[in-house]
């Protein structure tokens, strides 16, 4: 692999909300104290984003980052037996562009405001059978409701705003304001979440042992510090961060192309976790937990190790084909400086509110702005069912009848955890 990291540069009328649904855990009684406690973490690496689970000892939480506050936060009782979750459970995962103190991405003292360059909503279904990870473009114009002032929570709230870019909301009103904005946009209630910064992304990818990525053509992006030859590479640390931050080097050079590249990385990451048995490796799990507790800010519900264990257990056995990475559907405005939600956004909202799995239209991945291409060497995804009109081969069991699924139109791009795709270089 040829990769080097250089200084990075700072990144460059929603439909009415539908009725609110939210995740709530049932009560099953208190959890007995455990002499040898293990913790598990579901998180994002975001400056673009990612979800992982891990175990570690309780003392890892001695160095935990300050707690994030959410107006609608729930305590998520009754673990480790998580049981069914009414309406599913939602997490807000935010990737901050706050520069690390080591100066790797510019002088941290010169930044004018911290932006949420990655905003992702993770939904674990009530029956734990499917997961949706929705990415909201950083340049999407959104309406922001009144928000408590993080610097004066008991004072006058911050004023509502309209038609502002999504990535400015963190600087405007903090994590809680980003959550309120996504709640208003999607019609779901967000009880918990976290923020990860540059160093956290690098630390998490290293703790997992690296993530395998496929590159269709050589990528050269001096802005992100990414230089990769065509082929397959296992990347970690700041190499992984550069891959996730790259915008000028992939797809059409836009944030929309970058999101699809991030989704490809995330899909590969969850395959790595499953294939390499990360959830059964105490050393890796400890490293992951350490990386999370020292590099992320979490809401109070996620700072309890036992609750984190229960969340990890809930998603351990989900079929990768039922983990959907979705780009919130948008279209460019006349000036091409920002994007706005399309009518199809209402269908994504409806699926989240109804706790439904989604079905992505395969033709959506043929969109020239998608940013990635199928891996020609990839084997068929495990569990792949015959196409419509085909019959199972002799000896095969016909696919079982499943619960209702929300079919998404072609302008909703994304992929599943089972899809193997390659980053496509920006030829512009």
Contact yes or no for 332/233 (Cβ under 8 A): no
Judged against a pLDDT cut of 80, whether residue 198 lies above it is answered with no
Model confidence pLDDT, tens digit, residues 66-86: 567 666 655 444 433 444 567
| pLDDT tens digit sequence for 232-256 | 999 999 899 889 988 888 877 788 8
Taking the C-alpha atoms of residue 85 and residue 299, their distance in angstroms, rounded to an integer, is 19
Computed over every residue of the chain, the mean pLDDT equals 74
Q: Whose CA is closest to 415, among 365, 345, 342?
A: 365
Contacts of residue 112, defined as CB under 8 A and 6 or more positions apart, other chains included, come to: none
Question: In the predicted model, is pLDDT for residue 288 greater than 90?
Answer: no
Of the options 3.40.50.410, 3.40.630.190, 3.40.50.2300, 3.40.50.720, the CATH number for the domain spanning 58-209+254-355: 3.40.630.190
In tens, the pLDDT along 199-223 reads 788 888 888 889 999 999 899 998 8
User: Taking the complete model, does pTM exceed 0.85, yes or no?
Assistant: no
Long-range own/partner contacts, residues 145-152 (CB < 8 A, 24 or more apart): 145/180, 145/181, 145/184, 147/172, 147/173, 147/174, 147/176, 147/177, 147/180, 148/71, 148/173, 148/176, 148/177, 149/173, 150/69, 150/174, 150/176, 150/177
CA distance 427 to 250: 8
Give me the residue spans of the domains in the chain: 58-209+254-355
**What's the rounded Cα separation, in Å, for the pair 114 and 171?**
5
């Amino acid at each position: 692999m040829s990769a080097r990291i250089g200084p990075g540069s700072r990144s460059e009328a929603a439909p009415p909300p539908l009725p609110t649904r939210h995740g709530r855990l049932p009560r099953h009684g208190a959890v007995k104290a455990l002499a040898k406690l293990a913790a598990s973490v579901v998180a994002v690496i975001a400056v673009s984003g990612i979800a992982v689970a891990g175990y570690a000892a309780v003392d890892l939480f001695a160095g935990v980052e300050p707690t994030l506050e959410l107006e609608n936060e729930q305590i998520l009782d009754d673990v480790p037996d998580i049981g069914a979750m009414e309406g599913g459970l939602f997490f807000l995962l935010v990737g901050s562009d706050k520069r690390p103190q080591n100066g790797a991405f510019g002088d941290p003292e010169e930044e004018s405001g911290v932006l949420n360059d990655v905003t992702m909503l993770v939904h674990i279904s009530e029956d734990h059978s499917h997961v949706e990870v929705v990415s909201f473009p950083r340049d999407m114009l959104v309406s922001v409701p009144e928000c408590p002032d993080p610097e004066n929570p008991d004072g006058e709230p911050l004023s509502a705003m309209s038609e502002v870019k999504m990535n400015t909301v963190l600087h405007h009103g903090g994590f809680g304001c980003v959550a309120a904005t996504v709640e208003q946009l999607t019609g779901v209630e967000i009880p918990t979440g976290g923020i990860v910064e540059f160093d956290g992304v690098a630390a998490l990818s290293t703790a997992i042992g690296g993530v395998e990525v496929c590159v269709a053509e050589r990528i050269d992006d001096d802005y992100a510090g990414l230089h990769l030859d065509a082929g397959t590479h296992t990347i970690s640390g700041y190499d992984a961060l550069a891959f996730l931050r790259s915008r000028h080097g992939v797809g059409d050079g836009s944030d929309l192309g970058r999101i699809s590249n991030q989704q490809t990385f995330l899909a590969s990451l969850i395959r790595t976790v499953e294939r390499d048995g990360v959830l059964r490796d105490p050393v890796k799990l400890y490293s992951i937990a350490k990386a999370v507790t020292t590099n992320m800010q979490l809401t109070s519900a996620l700072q309890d190790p036992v609750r984190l264990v229960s969340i990890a257990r809930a998603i351990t056995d989900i079929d990768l084909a039922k983990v959907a990475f979705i780009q919130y559907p948008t279209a460019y405005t006349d000036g091409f400086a920002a994007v706005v939600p399309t009518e199809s956004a209402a269908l994504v909202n409806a699926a989240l509110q109804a706790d439904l799995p989604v079905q992505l239209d395969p033709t959506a991945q043929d969109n020239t702005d998608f940013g990635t291409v199928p891996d020609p060497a990839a084997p068929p995804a495990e569990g792949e069912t015959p196409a419509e009109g085909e019959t199972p081969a002799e000896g095969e069991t016909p696919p079982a009848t499943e619960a209702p699924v929300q079919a998404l139109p072609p302008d909703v791009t994304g992929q599943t955890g089972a899809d193997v795709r390659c980053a496509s270089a920006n030829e512009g």
